[in-house]
Amino acid sequence: MGKYVAKRLLYMLFVLAVMTFVLFFLYNLIPGDPARAEVEPMKHRLKPEEYQYRYEQARKRLGLDDPLIVRYGKWVRNLLKGDLGISKVYNKPVIEVLKPPLKVTVTVNIFVTIFSLGITIPLGIICAVKKNSKFDKVVQVFTIVGYSLPVFIFALLFIYAFAVKLRWFPVSGMKTPNFSGTPWEEFKDMMHHLTLPLIVLIIGSLGGMTRYVRAAMIDALSMDCIKTARAKGLSEKVVIYSHAWRNALLPVITLIIGWFMSIFSGSLVTETMFVLNGMGKIYIDALNNQDYNIALAIQLFYIVMAVLGNLIADLSYGIVDPRVRVNK
Amino acid sequence: MKRKLSLLLALVLALALFMTACGSSKDTATNDPEETEQPTETGEGDEETLEPPAEPMGQLIIGNTTEMSGEWLPYFQNIASDYDIWNFINGYSTVAITFDGEYVVDTTVVKDYKVTENEDGSKTYTWTIADNLVYDDGTPITAKDYVASALLWSSQLLGEMGGSNSYGLYWKGWSEFSKGQTNVFAGVNLIDDYTFAITIDASNLPYFYELPMVSVGPTKLSYWLDETVDIADDGEGCYFTVDINAKNPDGSLVYAEKISAAKSNPFYPASGPYVVKSFDATTKTAVLEVNDKYVGDYTGQKPKIKTIIYKLVNQSTQFDELATGSVDLLPENGSGDAINAGLDLVEQGGFSYSTHPRSGYGKIHFACDFGPTADVEVRQAIAHLLDRNEFAKSFTGGFGSVVNGPYGEAMWFYQETKAELNQKVNQYPYDLNKAIELLESAGWTLNANGEPYKEGDGVRYKRTEDGKLMPLIIEWASTENNQVSDLLVVKLQQNPDLAKAGIQINQTTMTFPELINWMYRDKSQGAEYAVPTYHMFNLATNYSPWYDLSTEYVTDPDMVAAGYNTNYIFDEELERLSKEMVLVDPNDREGFKRKFVDFIVRWNYLLPDLPLYSNIYHDFYNDKLQNWKMNSNVDVTQAVLYAWVTE
């Protein structure tokens, strides 16, 4: 087991090394001159020689005169020291820029994950057990609708209904400006602001997971072992939750782990609509503003999360199903 | 286990419902929509609310679509909303700008001043500041604080940290000081506790905008560096008593960490009308409270609103925020959709709006040194083939105007010369025959076979000096996801009259940085960019009240190579006029206006750019805001100073 994990970790390092190389070179192939962008606002006020001097200093400071491979080497060296570079837009370290959005995204996603899994798993199981019943059909229709409609439609509708018309919730944000209170009051204020985005995110994620759990459970319920369990006279509850769910869990676990890993991933649409300063929004802003150090850092972070998620999923299979447990 | 899991899920759901119920409770929000909604039916407000309060009161929430970074210092980035906060907390500059866009000495700050013309052609402004100025913490503001700005924000340290150290770039000795070649700033002198002097370098004189060149504000040095750093002057100029450009053995700058920490802390010492009370990086919201030690702006005006909240809003839901009271003011809306949404709200009642013209415009930017657009007649013909009034109407939804030169309609010198300009400039009305006439006068009279051009021959040709035939095909570089580009395709590129005139425009869509590379012909980014390829670009430009275009149309090859004159228009008269306009005595207003008119007339004939639309900005606000008077000469912070709210 230890050897397998070590091998996978080595493989992860290799993947990361390759990806840093590919991403760094891709981003640096995009046309643009950060040094010129930096000194451009001063251009009309500076004499030509002063402008040129400052332009050259900026190129030197940003390391733009070095060959690409040298720049890559320096970037990797800094990366290993935890230095992800400087944001072009904010002119401060990338890590400093990314801390607040990461906090927002994780906060929001923890709630979304808990609620989504809490709703979709029981719902999927019930639909499978009551396959083709009226309840199942109604849920199927709603999940299809939820699955098909873009999230921003829900966002706009909910804002109009619950914020503009009914005024139950604020239109955007995470807390009331200039609000101060006890930690509990602040938490309540945050939840008041987050209710609408949470509902939108949860609705957006219900369809896929519910249908996936339902399909896995239907497969599991048709297995011979389930027939045997029923023939043995076990109660339906034990058959469903102990025998069938255990068998259905194997395909579902990939999604569940993916969901937990996605706690760090932002939702571009929801964050933009509700003005939440999260990872999705900052990523698209970074791309739009050509702030490539930020974009590169976020992509690398997601790659790390993806390969880590794969490893955890593989190890989890063994826990759920001893037949695929890795012993070497 | 399963039972426990079910119980847990039920608890989570119950908690969600409970939170939702709690969340709607009024006690969680100090600015609940129901509390801020005004039932006023008209946008004018009651008579009794027109009187400003004696003391600052109330709260104003300003919605902004630009994210704040939380670092207000403007020398490291140029985020507009950060700069607004910087202006809220910084005041007491020696020179102020009026609502008319004119620069004046701030007599609240300056007790006395003297202007001396020196033998070497330089000019010295000796400022004596008032002795009643203090920061928000009560620390007195002295001449040393003004000198500190001059030295710190011009220092080599700032430049090496990646900041803009051009604070004193017009002053004597700035170049050497900013590069670290000397530690003495020759153009800055400390005379006594309340007197200091700034000397403008002779090479920058005469200059019409002399006053803003000597504008200095205070900087609390102990906050940005530390208590050990002082400033001295032995008569040759000011210097820091400690080498702030010093480096550690590993090459890092000794004071860089200190400055980085200071600029990242949102609570800068305040000399302006407001103090930052809080900044929330997760919601991008800044709360400012009135600085009760602020003695006023150049007219002695003090803030009348107690709390200002600067809040990030989304363009698509910003009017929902205004409608529900989550924001009170949405300044400078330029798009037709946004303005119509705002006007709908005003119609419903409880809201008002004010308008002001943008000081700038969207434009077609021509490369004037090669290909068809090197001919002024071609540029003029294109102007005649684009119905700019219709274009502006379509793009701005009817909330825009067309200008005929590089100016903003709120500029005082435009306002005072408007009648004369309207008579002298060509409006370039839509006229196919005039366009054809212009093209023929410039020699675009042949078809692809070199025979005389006749209707239906397609693209026109012209025989160049080397005997070759040049087609009237214009290569256009446009940016992606750009509504102006989309509209230009419809209104210009696909205009049947363009083909009738014998012109073809080919569009190439690219990213903005790539477009800039092509425009600058920047060979450092790739050899291909050095080859002139595109004849026109669609861009936008804005003008500040400090109106100086003297380097925009230079003909000196070195300056052109350095990135000045991106129109590549080599017209000595245009260059002379652009320079002469600002090289006049600051008191010679009439001379400035005369030269401005001459410059605009020449520019309007040459058309290095074709202005397409200039927005009429709309500020929307709820009726609790009174006396909101914004224009493009001032920023939102200045307008806030004269406004008040009714609660």
Domain ranges in chain B are 2-89+267-355+619-645, 95-264, 360-441+470-615
- Average pLDDT for B345-360: 94
Share of chain A above pLDDT 90, in %: 31
Q: Which of B361, B359, B367 is nearest to B415 (CA)?
A: B359
On whether residue A302 sits in a domain, the answer given is yes
Q: For chain A, how big is the Rg over CA atoms in Å? A: 25
Q: Which of B335, B391, B311 is nearest to B617 (CA)?
A: B335
Q: How many Cα neighbours within 13 Å face the side chain of B560? A: 15
Q: Are strands B400-401 and B609-622 parallel, antiparallel or unpaired?
A: antiparallel
Q: Which of A313, A288, A270, A286 is nearest to A109 (CA)?
A: A270
The whole-number pLDDT of residue B2 equals 44
Smallest CA–CA distance from B282 into chain A, residue: A100
The whole-number pLDDT of residue B455 equals 87
- Out of A32, A97, A168, the one facing B24 most closely (by C-beta) is A168
A64 and A184 both lie in a single domain: no
Q: Are strands B609-622 and B351-357 parallel, antiparallel or unpaired?
A: antiparallel
Report CA B351 to chain centroid distance, whole Å: 27
pLDDT at B190 over 50: yes
What residues of chain B lie within 8 A of the CB of A173, using their CB? Answer: 283, 285, 311, 326
For the stretch A20-47, pLDDT in tens is: 999 999 988 887 788 887 887 777 778 8
What residues of chain A lie within 8 A of the CB of B59, using their CB? Answer: 178
**Is B513's CB within 8 Å of A163's CB?**
no
A179 touches chain B (CB under 8 A): yes
Cα-based angle B638, B639, B640 (whole degrees, multiple of 5): 90
**Is B525's CB within 8 Å of A38's CB?**
no
B470 pairs with which residues across the strands? B462
Q: Which fold has domain B95-264?
A: Dipeptide-binding Protein; domain 1 (3.90.76)
Q: Which CATH architecture does the domain made up of B2-89+267-355+619-645 adopt? A: 3-Layer(aba) Sandwich (3.40)
Smallest CA–CA distance from B560 into chain A, residue: A48
pLDDT at A238 over 70: yes
CATH of B360-441+470-615, one of 3.80.30.20, 3.40.190.10, 3.10.105.10, 3.40.50.720: 3.10.105.10
Report CA B624 to chain centroid distance, whole Å: 28
On whether residue A119 sits in a domain, the answer given is yes
| Residue with the larger pLDDT of the pair A285 and B597 | B597
CA distance B29 to A10: 52
The whole-number pLDDT of residue A326 equals 62
**Is A31's CB within 8 Å of B31's CB?**
no
**Is A177's CB within 8 Å of B564's CB?**
no
Domain that residue A69 falls in: 33-83
Does residue B63 sit in helix, strand or coil? strand
- Average pLDDT for B372-394: 96
A182 touches chain B (CB under 8 A): no
- Out of A46, A193, A273, the one facing B317 most closely (by C-beta) is A273
A149 and A248 both lie in a single domain: yes
- Out of B16, B282, B320, the one facing A100 most closely (by C-beta) is B282
A179 and A42 both lie in a single domain: no
The whole-number pLDDT of residue A325 equals 67
A70 and A112 both lie in a single domain: no
pLDDT at B296 over 60: yes
A62 and A150 both lie in a single domain: no
**Is A170's CB within 8 Å of B30's CB?**
no
| C-alpha separations of B559 from A126, B580, B603 in Å | 75, 18, 20
Q: Distance from A177 to chain B by nearest Cα, in Å?
A: 7
**Is B169's CB within 8 Å of A173's CB?**
no
For the stretch B549-578, pLDDT in tens is: 988 999 988 888 878 899 999 999 999 999
A38 touches chain B (CB under 8 A): yes
User: Model-level pTM?
Assistant: 0.84
| C-alpha separations of B548 from A45, A54, B207, B424, B577 in Å | 9, 21, 10, 22, 11
**Is B283's CB within 8 Å of A177's CB?**
yes
A27 touches chain B (CB under 8 A): no
For the stretch B154-170, pLDDT in tens is: 999 999 998 889 899 89
A48 touches chain B (CB under 8 A): yes
pLDDT at B468 over 70: yes
Name the amino acid, one letter, at B31: N
| CATH code assigned at A205 | 1.10.3720.10
The whole-number pLDDT of residue A327 equals 58
- Out of B159, B282, B520, the one facing A103 most closely (by C-beta) is B282
A147 and A249 both lie in a single domain: yes
A126 and A216 both lie in a single domain: yes
On whether residue A115 sits in a domain, the answer given is yes
pLDDT at B498 over 80: yes
pLDDT at B18 over 60: no
Q: Are A237 and A149 in contact (CB under 8 A)?
A: no
CA distance B491 to B273: 48
What residues of chain B lie within 8 A of the CB of A277, using their CB? Answer: 67, 281-284, 312
B-contacting residues in A 199-238 (Cβ below 8 Å): none
For the stretch A109-123, pLDDT in tens is: 899 988 988 999 999
A72 and A219 both lie in a single domain: no
Per-residue pLDDT band for B79 (boundaries 50, 70, 90) equals confident
- Average pLDDT for B467-473: 95
| C-alpha separations of A213 from A111, A216, A247, A276 in Å | 20, 5, 11, 30
- Out of B8, B283, B551, the one facing A277 most closely (by C-beta) is B283
A82 touches chain B (CB under 8 A): no
- CA-based torsion, B540, B545, B551, B554: positive or negative: positive
For the stretch B537-552, pLDDT in tens is: 999 999 989 999 988 9
DSSP character at residue B523: G
Instruction: Write the CB contacts of B466 (distance below 8 Å, at least 6 apart in sequence).
Output: none
For the stretch A162-206, pLDDT in tens is: 999 999 999 998 889 888 889 999 999 999 999 999 999 888 888
For the stretch A85-112, pLDDT in tens is: 888 888 889 999 999 999 999 999 899 9
Q: Are B606 and B376 in contact (CB under 8 A)?
A: yes
CA distance B333 to A175: 25
- Average pLDDT for B129-133: 97
pLDDT at B22 over 50: no
The whole-number pLDDT of residue B24 equals 36
Q: Which of A207, A326, A300, A311 is nearest to A254 (CA)?
A: A311
For the stretch B243-272, pLDDT in tens is: 999 999 988 899 999 999 999 999 999 999
What residues of chain B lie within 8 A of the CB of A175, using their CB? Answer: 280, 283
Q: Are B276 and B89 in contact (CB under 8 A)?
A: yes
Domain boundary, last residue among A83, A110, A145: A83
Q: Which of A260-274, B372-386, B466-480 has the least mean pLDDT?
A: A260-274
- Average pLDDT for A317-327: 72
Q: Which of A131-135, B369-373, B605-609 has the least mean pLDDT?
A: A131-135
Q: Distance from B506 to chain A by nearest Cα, in Å?
A: 21
The token duo for B4 is 């426990």
The whole-number pLDDT of residue B27 equals 33
Q: Are B383 and B606 in contact (CB under 8 A)?
A: no
Q: Which residue has the tokens 């994620």?
A: A205
Domain boundary, last residue among A83, A117, A151: A83
DSSP character at residue B437: H
Q: Distance from B638 to chain A by nearest Cα, in Å?
A: 22
What residues of chain B lie within 8 A of the CB of A91, using their CB? Answer: 71, 76-77, 162-163
On whether residue A8 sits in a domain, the answer given is no
Maximum Cα–Cα distance for chain B, whole Å? 94
A67 and A176 both lie in a single domain: no
Smallest CA–CA distance from B8 into chain A, residue: A118
Buried b / exposed e over B367-385, threshold 16 CB at 10 Å, is bbeebbbbbbbbbbbbbbb
Q: Which of B372, B398, B418, B647 is nearest to B536 (CA)?
A: B372
* Number of independent structural domains in chain A: 2
Does residue B331 sit in helix, strand or coil? strand
CA distance B537 to B368: 12
A179 and A37 both lie in a single domain: no
A115 and A262 both lie in a single domain: yes
CA distance B167 to B471: 49
What residues of chain A lie within 8 A of the CB of B564, using their CB? Answer: 43-44, 48
What residues of chain B lie within 8 A of the CB of A171, using their CB? Answer: 317, 320-321, 324, 326
The whole-number pLDDT of residue B513 equals 80
On whether residue A10 sits in a domain, the answer given is no
Domain boundary, last residue among A23, A56, A83: A83
On whether residue A272 sits in a domain, the answer given is yes
- Average pLDDT for A221-233: 88
A77 and A104 both lie in a single domain: no
Q: Which of B238-242, B290-294, B503-507, B586-590 has the least mean pLDDT?
A: B586-590
What residues of chain B lie within 8 A of the CB of A97, using their CB? Answer: 69
Helix (H) or strand (E) holding B104, with range, is strand B103-105
**Is A178's CB within 8 Å of B525's CB?**
no
What residues of chain A lie within 8 A of the CB of B27, using their CB? Answer: 185
